[in-house]
Every structure is written in C-alpha cells, then in structure tokens.
Structure 1
Amino acid sequence: MLELKYVEKSFGQSRPILHVRDLRIPSGEIVGVLGENGSGKTTLLKAIMGLGEVKYRDIAINGRPVQEQYDQLAFITEEGSYIPKLTPLQYADFLAAFYPRFDLVYYNKLLKFYELEPNKRIRTFSRGQKSKLEISAGMAKGAKYILMDEPFLGKDMFTRRDFLKLMIGNLKGDETILIVTHHLDEIETVIDRALIMSRGRIEADFYMDDLREQGKDLTAIMAEKAGYKPDRYKTVLE
C-alpha cells in the first residue's frame, strides 16, 4: 500500500499549492490523477518521488518511508529522466545497477518496437524518440509503483493505444500505477480509480465501477469539480 499521510507544499504564507492528507492506494490499483492545468497533479507525483522542496512529507510504502525504497518506484515523466550523453544500451546498464528487477530483455523489445537505435546517443534523439525511451526504461524497471506524468504528451493516437496495450499486457497484477493525463476518453476503461485535483487538493476520489453504476461519466465529474460552464464562451460572442 502507498500511503500519503500528510503532504504539503507552499510558498511563504500563501495558500498551499499542494495539500493532501490520509490518501491510501492499495497495491494493484491503476489510478488516474486528473484535473485542470495547475491543479497540483505533477507536484503530487514529484512529492512522492522526493523531487522539489516540500514543506511536509510523510509518505510510506507498506509502512516504511518511501525514501528508503526508491528502487520500488519508476517515474515516467515528460521532462525525461534519462542521461543524454549515454546510449540506450549504456543507460540500461546504469538502470540495472539501481533496479534489481530491471528486465533487459523486455527493454530491448521495447527499443525495437519503438524503432530506437540502441547505440546512438540519447541527446541526438528527437523529442518523440526521447519520450519513447522514457517509457521503455520506466516500464522495464520492474518497479512495483509506477508514476506516469503525461506519458501521452505529443504522441499520436496510435502510439497512445499501443502504449496502453503494452502497459496492461505486461502487468503482473501487483503493480500500482498513478497516471496523470488529460486524455480521459483513452484511460476511462483502463483505470480502477480516479482522483480529481483542484488547487492542490483532492476534490474527488472514486472507483470507476461506482461511477458507472451511478450512470455518470468521467468528463461530467471533471467539469463539475472544475466549475466548468459550457456556455461561458458565449459571453465573448455576444
């Protein structure tokens, strides 16, 4: 279980840009972390990973501080966590030394699938190629907790579909996934649970099965929590 007992980030005396208490995510869940731009989604994932300054940070995995078991976590980020001067194969050696469950065979399969040159320096890759390398490395780490920050950014719909198929197909059932994305329609049938954030706080936390039983959809809940008014644009046209 991943437990966020108390996490807060703020600047000076202003309203916290992140404030989360008593959030528990059992092992094996796929959780969508959703919300408007600037709602705190990326900040939340970075706080779990120990990136950036956080005022209060009490996070545990199975009762132990998360900072003692980073080998259990993989962070797939649009910013990229690779080392540009290395080649993909050299990067694999680096990852294998840190992640004891790193799957080199699977990693090489992903490189081949995404048509990435294994002996070419990463810094020479295009943005799209770097993004695919980030996915390949993250999914091959063998981590039990996988955090994804906008893994679909800049990818066409076919690449996004392939990624979801590969992700689901490679899961063993005990992995916990947190995924930040704006592509609601593509993850709605994949995630087990949704967290909707606004102004640094979790405004809604529900299971997708419960939502379906109520006859509601994810987009409608998102609009409600964001205070979105579908006719607001008309004031500009009047």
Structure 2
Amino acid sequence: MIELKYVDKRYPASNAFLFINSLTINKGEIVGVLGENGSGKTTLLKAIMGIGELRNGEITIDGRPVKEQYERMAFITEEGSFLPDLTPVKYAQFLASFYPRFDQEYFKKLLKLYELPSDSKIKTFSKGQKIKLEISAGLAKQADYLLLDEPFAGKDIFSRSDSLKLMMSGLSGTETLLITTHLIDEIENIIDRAIILHKGIIRADVYIDDLREEGKSLAEVMHEARSKRS
C-alpha cells in the first residue's frame, strides 16, 4: 500500500507544485495517472520514489518510509537510468549487485522478446530500444511497486500496443503499477483506476468498473475534470 498524507512538493525555479491532501494506492492496483503536460504526473511518481525533498507531508510504502523500500520499487522512465557505455548484459550484472531480487535469466528472456542486442553498448540503441531496455530492467527487478513514467511516448500506435501487451504479460499479478500517460484509449482496458491531475491537484479519482456501471468513458471523466480546473 502506498499512502500520501498532506504532501506538498514545489520547485524553487518555477510555479510547478504538487499538493495532495490524502491518497492511498492499494496493493495490486493498476493505476493510470493522467493529465496534461505539466499537470504533476511525473512529480507525483518522483515524490513516491523519494526523488527530491518534500516541502511538507509524508509518503509511506506498506507503512514504512520510502527510503527503506527501494529494493521493492522500480522507476521506469523515458529518460532512462542505464549506463550508456555498458551492454545490456553488463547492465544486468550491475543491477543485480544492487537489487537482490534481480532475475538475470528473466532479463535475458525479455531482451529476446523485445529483440534487443545483448552485447551492443546501450549508447548505440535507438530511443525506442532504450525504453524497451528500461522496461526489461524494471520488470526483472521483481519489484512489488512499478512506477512507469510515459513508458511508450514517441512510439507509433502499433508499437505502443505491442509493448503494453508484452509488459503486462511479464507481470505476476501481485504488483502495484502506476502509469503516467496521456494515451487514455490504450490503457483504459488495462487499468483498475484513474487519477486525473491538473496543476498539481487531483481533480478526479475513479475506478474503471464504476465508470462502466455508470455508462461513462474515461475520456468523459477527463473532460469533466478539465472543466473543474481553476
């Protein structure tokens, strides 16, 4: 369980901020974190990962501080955390030294599924290949909490669909996922819940099953959330 209480995160050099009075992400949920660029999606994930200081508030993972839970978490971002002069195989060895649960055999399997060269230096990879490498590394960490920041940005619709299906097939079903994206049509049938942010504030928090019972779409909720903004 991820719990945020009175979280206030700001950036000195800009007007961007995140303010969340209370938010709980239950274990095993797949949550889409949605909103326009600059709405606070990435800031929310970084706050949960303990990246940067909070102005106020508390974030816990299963009742413990984030800094005590790093080995159970994986942050997958388009920016990448890989070392460009390493090959994927060497990168896996590096990760295994920091993450006791890292599964090198599973990582190699993912490299094959994504058709990534295992012995080429990562700096020679295309942008799409680097994103696939990040996803492979994140899944191989066997993390309980996966935070994915726009993992399929820049891909064409077919590549995004294939990558999403492949990523989901690699899960055990017990993981908690937070996925930031603006591609709502592609994740609506995958997520359990949608959190919609605007200007650092949660404007809507809905479960997809409830929406279906009401005969509403996620796009409609997004539109209503935008109409509430100040």
Q: TM-score, normalised to structure 1's length?
A: 0.90
Greater CA deviation, 204-213 or 14-23?
A: 14-23
1:172 and 1:206 map into 2 onto residues whose CA distance is 24
Q: Which has the larger radius of gyration?
A: 1
What pairs with 1:94-105 in structure 2 (closer than 5 Å)?
A: 94-105=94-105
Task: Tell me which residue corresponds to 1:89.
Answer: 89
Aligned partners of 1:143, 1:3: CA distance in 2, in Å? 18
Amino acid in the other structure paired with 2:71: D
How many residues are aligned here?
228
Offset of 1:16 from its aligned partner? Answer: 6.2
DSSP-derived class of the 1:4 partner: strand
Amino acid at match of 1:175: E
- CA displacement at 1:227 relative to structure 2: 2.7
User: Which 5+ residue runs of structure 1 have no aligned equivalent?
Assistant: 229-238
CA distance in structure 1 between the partners assigned to 2:201 and 2:227 by the alignment: 15
Where do 5+ consecutive residues of structure 2 fail to align? none
| 1:170-185 to 2 correspondences below 5 Å | 170-185=170-185
CA distance in 1, matches of 2:57, 2:70: 15
Give the whole-Å Cα distance in 2 for the aligned partners of 1:65 and 1:16: 25
Aligned positions of 1:65-214 closer than 5 A: 65-214=65-214
Structure-2 residue corresponding to 1:18: 18
Offset of 1:11 from its aligned partner?
Answer: 4.1
Amino acid aligned to 1:38: G
Q: Is the 8 A contact 2:139 2:171 kept in 1?
A: no
Equivalent residue number for residue 226 of structure 2: 226
Distance 2:16 2:87 in 1: 40
Structure 1 residues 57 and 111, CA gap change in structure 2 (3 angstroms): farther
Q: TM-score, normalised by structure 2?
A: 0.93
SS of equivalent residue, structure 2 residue 153 = coil
